[in-house]
Chain A
Amino acid sequence: EAQVTQNPRYLITVTGKKLTVTCSQNMNHEYMSWYRQDPGLGLRQIYYSMNVEVTDKGDVPEGYKVSRKEKRNFPLILESPSPNQTSLYFCASTDRQGSYNSPLHFGNGTRLTVT
């Protein structure tokens, strides 16, 4: 089954403790992206990757890092989480760079709470 898998689904952590949210897709997609969803703000893009070893900042990249060493994986790293990063995070992928003909496929989300 074609899917985007995020882990974990739920995560509670404390301020300053490094964490990684993993994202993996089995569709051989070139493009992958991370969004955060906050009440009243919709989804905002954090980082995206057009292909392996190619990443770029989205609209709200501060406090986050990403890497794209393999095509299928696109982990989101919070080096020193802070409470304002408490949010619902989504990973998404699609199969063509710069094209909207193929839809974004979303994972089921990771709900992160930073205390």
Chain B
Amino acid sequence: AQSVTQPDIHITVSEGASLELRCNYSYGATPYLFWYVQSPGQGLQLLLKYFSGDTLVQGIKGFEAEFKRSQSSFNLRKPSVHWSDAAEYFCAVGSPTGANNLFFGTGTRLTVIP
């Protein structure tokens, strides 16, 4: 069965500092992996996705994520956080044969302090 673990419920970083949000997945084969961001009062927006190929993927808003098969991880990174990045971030995994059903992690809330 597929599952996603985001071990950090809440992270606080200073504006301008680097960021890494952790995501570990459980799946029998290479899954499809996603990061979504949810701003307060909004729906989720796709930041980036990984299907195959280059294990370092670039997304919108300056985010990137690296797929590491050996660690079953897909961590999200940003070199310099902006105050507007404060939001909740969800990692999700999908089956290559699934009908667009994504399994979401429990989310990591990011607070950015001046």
A residues touching B (Cβ–Cβ < 8 Å)? Answer: 4, 31, 33, 35, 40-45, 48, 50, 56, 58, 90, 92, 94, 97-100, 103-109
Contacts and interface: CB of A to CB of B under 8 A. Distances in A.
Interface stretch (B66-74, B79-87, B101-109): B101-109
Interface of B: 4, 9, 32, 34, 41-46, 49, 51, 90, 94, 97-102, 104-107
Contacts of B9: 40
A56 B101 CA distance: 11
Given A97-B100, A99-B100, A41 B44 contact: no
Most B-side CB within 10 Å, residue of A35, A43, A44 = A43
Contacts, number: 63
A33 B100 contact: yes
A31 B97 CA distance: 15
Given A104-B46, A106-B44, A41 B100 contact: no
